[in-house]
Amino acid sequence: MAKSALLIGEKSDIGATIKTYLKKESYVVTGTTSSTLDLSSKESVDNFLLKNNKKFNSIIFVAATNTPKKFLNLKDKDFDYSYDVNFKSFVFILKNLISKMPTNSNSSIIIISSLFGSFGRDKRFLYSSSKHFLNGAMKNLAIELGTYRIRVNSIAPGFIDTKMTRNNNSNNSLSKIIKKIPAGRLGKSKDIAEAVMFLLSSKSSYITGQELVIDGGLTAGGFWED
Protein backbone atom coordinates (compact mmCIF):
# COMPACT_ATOMS: atom_id res chain seq x y z
CA MET A 1 0.00 0.00 0.00
CA ALA A 2 1.37 3.41 -0.98
CA LYS A 3 2.48 5.75 1.79
CA SER A 4 0.78 9.14 1.85
CA ALA A 5 2.06 12.43 3.20
CA LEU A 6 0.54 15.85 3.73
CA LEU A 7 3.23 18.48 3.16
CA ILE A 8 2.11 21.92 4.31
CA GLY A 9 4.35 24.45 2.62
CA GLU A 10 5.66 22.63 -0.45
CA LYS A 11 6.83 25.75 -2.31
CA SER A 12 9.38 26.96 0.21
CA ASP A 13 12.98 26.01 -0.51
CA ILE A 14 12.96 23.41 2.26
CA GLY A 15 9.44 22.23 1.42
CA ALA A 16 10.25 21.70 -2.25
CA THR A 17 13.31 19.65 -1.36
CA ILE A 18 11.36 17.54 1.12
CA LYS A 19 8.78 16.87 -1.59
CA THR A 20 11.49 15.66 -3.97
CA TYR A 21 12.80 13.25 -1.33
CA LEU A 22 9.29 12.00 -0.53
CA LYS A 23 8.65 11.29 -4.20
CA LYS A 24 11.91 9.33 -4.43
CA GLU A 25 10.60 7.12 -1.62
CA SER A 26 7.31 6.57 -3.49
CA TYR A 27 5.14 8.69 -1.19
CA VAL A 28 1.87 10.01 -2.53
CA VAL A 29 2.25 13.67 -1.61
CA THR A 30 -0.54 16.16 -1.02
CA GLY A 31 1.27 19.48 -0.98
CA THR A 32 -0.05 22.90 -0.15
CA THR A 33 0.98 26.42 -1.10
CA SER A 34 -0.28 29.78 0.11
CA SER A 35 -2.70 29.80 -2.82
CA THR A 36 -4.18 26.34 -2.14
CA LEU A 37 -4.17 26.73 1.65
CA ASP A 38 -4.14 30.20 3.19
CA LEU A 39 -3.26 29.48 6.80
CA SER A 40 -4.28 32.99 7.80
CA SER A 41 -7.87 32.32 6.68
CA LYS A 42 -10.24 30.07 8.62
CA GLU A 43 -12.41 29.76 5.52
CA SER A 44 -9.47 28.51 3.48
CA VAL A 45 -8.51 26.02 6.20
CA ASP A 46 -12.10 24.76 6.45
CA ASN A 47 -12.32 24.33 2.67
CA PHE A 48 -9.01 22.48 2.59
CA LEU A 49 -10.21 20.04 5.23
CA LEU A 50 -13.45 19.42 3.32
CA LYS A 51 -11.48 18.56 0.17
CA ASN A 52 -8.84 16.49 1.96
CA ASN A 53 -10.86 14.38 4.35
CA LYS A 54 -8.58 11.36 4.03
CA LYS A 55 -5.88 9.32 5.72
CA PHE A 56 -2.27 10.46 5.75
CA ASN A 57 0.53 8.27 7.07
CA SER A 58 2.58 11.38 7.74
CA ILE A 59 2.00 15.10 8.18
CA ILE A 60 4.89 17.52 7.71
CA PHE A 61 4.53 21.20 8.57
CA VAL A 62 6.99 23.54 6.87
CA ALA A 63 5.01 26.73 6.25
CA ALA A 64 6.01 29.87 8.15
CA THR A 65 6.09 33.62 7.94
CA ASN A 66 8.99 35.65 9.31
CA THR A 67 9.05 39.41 8.81
CA PRO A 68 11.50 41.05 11.24
CA LYS A 69 9.87 43.87 13.19
CA LYS A 70 10.46 45.52 16.55
CA PHE A 71 8.05 44.33 19.26
CA LEU A 72 6.84 47.87 20.05
CA ASN A 73 5.98 48.42 16.38
CA LEU A 74 3.82 45.32 16.03
CA LYS A 75 0.14 45.78 15.24
CA ASP A 76 -2.76 43.53 16.24
CA LYS A 77 -2.97 42.26 12.66
CA ASP A 78 0.70 41.25 12.81
CA PHE A 79 0.04 39.01 15.81
CA ASP A 80 -3.06 37.46 14.21
CA TYR A 81 -1.36 36.76 10.89
CA SER A 82 1.86 35.31 12.28
CA TYR A 83 0.25 33.09 14.88
CA ASP A 84 -2.41 31.84 12.45
CA VAL A 85 0.17 30.93 9.80
CA ASN A 86 2.94 29.65 12.07
CA PHE A 87 0.91 27.79 14.67
CA LYS A 88 -2.87 27.99 15.13
CA SER A 89 -4.09 26.77 11.75
CA PHE A 90 -1.66 23.86 11.73
CA VAL A 91 -2.88 22.73 15.16
CA PHE A 92 -6.48 23.00 13.95
CA ILE A 93 -5.68 20.91 10.86
CA LEU A 94 -3.99 18.29 13.02
CA LYS A 95 -6.99 18.11 15.34
CA ASN A 96 -9.17 17.26 12.36
CA LEU A 97 -6.83 14.80 10.62
CA ILE A 98 -5.19 12.88 13.47
CA SER A 99 -8.18 10.61 14.03
CA LYS A 100 -7.85 9.42 10.42
CA MET A 101 -4.14 8.57 10.59
CA PRO A 102 -3.33 4.84 10.51
CA THR A 103 -2.47 3.58 13.97
CA ASN A 104 -1.07 0.22 12.87
CA SER A 105 1.84 1.61 10.86
CA ASN A 106 4.77 3.99 11.23
CA SER A 107 2.66 7.16 11.34
CA SER A 108 4.58 10.36 11.98
CA ILE A 109 4.10 14.10 12.41
CA ILE A 110 7.11 16.31 11.77
CA ILE A 111 7.24 20.02 12.51
CA ILE A 112 9.92 22.19 10.94
CA SER A 113 10.70 24.53 13.79
CA SER A 114 13.78 26.74 14.13
CA LEU A 115 16.64 27.65 16.42
CA PHE A 116 14.34 30.52 17.34
CA GLY A 117 12.13 27.95 19.03
CA SER A 118 14.81 27.94 21.74
CA PHE A 119 16.51 31.30 21.30
CA GLY A 120 15.46 34.87 20.71
CA ARG A 121 16.77 37.58 18.39
CA ASP A 122 16.11 41.26 17.83
CA LYS A 123 12.96 41.88 15.73
CA ARG A 124 11.96 38.18 15.82
CA PHE A 125 9.33 38.29 18.57
CA LEU A 126 6.49 36.81 16.51
CA TYR A 127 8.60 34.22 14.71
CA SER A 128 10.41 33.12 17.86
CA SER A 129 7.33 32.95 20.09
CA SER A 130 5.34 31.00 17.48
CA LYS A 131 8.19 28.48 17.12
CA HIS A 132 8.28 28.14 20.93
CA PHE A 133 4.54 27.34 20.74
CA LEU A 134 5.21 24.66 18.13
CA ASN A 135 7.90 22.99 20.22
CA GLY A 136 5.59 22.88 23.23
CA ALA A 137 2.83 21.44 21.05
CA MET A 138 5.21 18.80 19.69
CA LYS A 139 6.12 17.52 23.16
CA ASN A 140 2.52 17.36 24.36
CA LEU A 141 1.29 15.71 21.18
CA ALA A 142 4.03 13.09 21.45
CA ILE A 143 2.72 12.18 24.90
CA GLU A 144 -0.94 12.07 23.94
CA LEU A 145 -0.57 10.39 20.54
CA GLY A 146 1.88 7.72 21.65
CA THR A 147 -1.12 5.60 22.60
CA TYR A 148 -2.14 5.63 18.95
CA ARG A 149 1.38 4.77 17.74
CA ILE A 150 1.77 8.18 16.13
CA ARG A 151 5.21 9.72 16.61
CA VAL A 152 5.68 13.50 16.80
CA ASN A 153 9.03 15.25 16.43
CA SER A 154 10.40 18.59 15.32
CA ILE A 155 13.45 19.66 13.38
CA ALA A 156 15.16 22.92 14.24
CA PRO A 157 17.16 24.14 11.26
CA GLY A 158 19.96 26.58 11.89
CA PHE A 159 20.88 29.04 9.17
CA ILE A 160 19.88 27.31 5.94
CA ASP A 161 20.68 28.84 2.56
CA THR A 162 17.11 29.74 1.57
CA LYS A 163 15.37 32.81 0.20
CA MET A 164 13.95 33.56 3.67
CA THR A 165 17.42 33.46 5.26
CA ARG A 166 18.90 35.75 2.60
CA ASN A 167 15.94 38.14 2.69
CA ASN A 168 16.18 38.55 6.46
CA ASN A 169 19.98 38.75 6.80
CA SER A 170 22.45 41.01 5.01
CA ASN A 171 25.47 39.48 3.31
CA ASN A 172 27.61 41.02 6.03
CA SER A 173 25.48 39.38 8.75
CA LEU A 174 25.64 36.02 7.01
CA SER A 175 29.42 36.25 6.73
CA LYS A 176 29.65 36.84 10.49
CA ILE A 177 27.23 33.96 11.17
CA ILE A 178 29.17 31.53 8.97
CA LYS A 179 32.35 32.29 10.91
CA LYS A 180 30.58 31.05 14.05
CA ILE A 181 29.35 27.79 12.48
CA PRO A 182 31.80 24.92 13.12
CA ALA A 183 30.77 23.26 9.85
CA GLY A 184 31.95 26.42 8.07
CA ARG A 185 28.92 26.95 5.87
CA LEU A 186 25.22 27.64 5.73
CA GLY A 187 23.05 24.55 5.76
CA LYS A 188 21.36 23.24 2.63
CA SER A 189 17.73 22.30 2.17
CA LYS A 190 18.78 18.70 1.58
CA ASP A 191 20.29 18.61 5.09
CA ILE A 192 16.78 19.12 6.44
CA ALA A 193 15.05 16.84 3.91
CA GLU A 194 17.37 13.94 4.75
CA ALA A 195 16.58 14.36 8.44
CA VAL A 196 12.86 14.37 7.64
CA MET A 197 13.19 11.10 5.76
CA PHE A 198 15.04 9.55 8.72
CA LEU A 199 12.30 10.61 11.13
CA LEU A 200 9.67 9.19 8.80
CA SER A 201 11.45 5.86 8.53
CA SER A 202 11.28 2.77 10.75
CA LYS A 203 14.89 3.50 11.72
CA SER A 204 13.52 6.18 14.06
CA SER A 205 10.64 4.09 15.42
CA TYR A 206 11.70 4.74 19.04
CA ILE A 207 12.13 8.49 18.61
CA THR A 208 9.24 10.75 19.58
CA GLY A 209 8.83 14.01 21.44
CA GLN A 210 12.26 15.19 20.34
CA GLU A 211 13.68 18.28 18.67
CA LEU A 212 16.47 17.51 16.22
CA VAL A 213 18.77 20.53 15.86
CA ILE A 214 20.53 20.79 12.50
CA ASP A 215 22.72 23.87 12.71
CA GLY A 216 26.24 22.84 11.71
CA GLY A 217 27.27 23.06 15.34
CA LEU A 218 26.35 26.73 15.87
CA THR A 219 24.60 26.21 19.20
CA ALA A 220 27.40 24.03 20.55
CA GLY A 221 28.75 27.33 21.83
CA GLY A 222 30.95 28.59 19.04
CA PHE A 223 29.18 31.94 19.06
CA TRP A 224 31.00 33.00 22.25
CA GLU A 225 33.79 35.49 21.74
CA ASP A 226 37.21 34.42 23.11
Higher pLDDT, 68 or 191: 191
Answer whether residue 19 shows pLDDT above 90.
yes
Answer whether residue 185 shows pLDDT above 90.
yes
- The pLDDT-based confidence of 72 (bands split at 50, 70, 90) is very high
Give me the pLDDT at residue 167, please: 87
pLDDT cut 70: percent of the chain above it: 97
Answer whether residue 158 shows pLDDT above 80.
yes
Answer whether residue 168 shows pLDDT above 90.
no
Q: Which candidate in 21, 27, 81, 127 is catalytic?
A: 127
Give me the pLDDT at residue 226, please: 54
Give me the pLDDT at residue 222, please: 64
The CA distance from 55 to 73, in Å, is 42
The three state secondary structure string of the chain is: CCEEEEEECCCCHHHHHHHHHHHHCCEEEEEECCCCCCCCCHHHHHHHHHHCCCCCCEEEECCCCCCCCCHHHCCHHHHHHHHHHHHHHHHHHHHHHHHHCCCCCCEEEEEECCHHHCCCCCCCHHHHHHHHHHHHHHHHHHHHHHHHCEEEEEEEECCECCHHHHHHCCHHHHHHHHHCCCCCCCECHHHHHHHHHHHHCHHHCCCCCCEEEECCCHHHCCCCCC
Give me the pLDDT at residue 2, please: 76
75-131: per-residue pLDDT in tens? Answer: 999 999 999 999 999 999 999 999 888 876 789 999 999 998 899 889 999 999 999
Closest-CA residue to 145 (of 29, 27, 58): 58
Give me the pLDDT at residue 225, please: 59
Higher pLDDT, 217 or 102: 217
127 is catalytic: yes
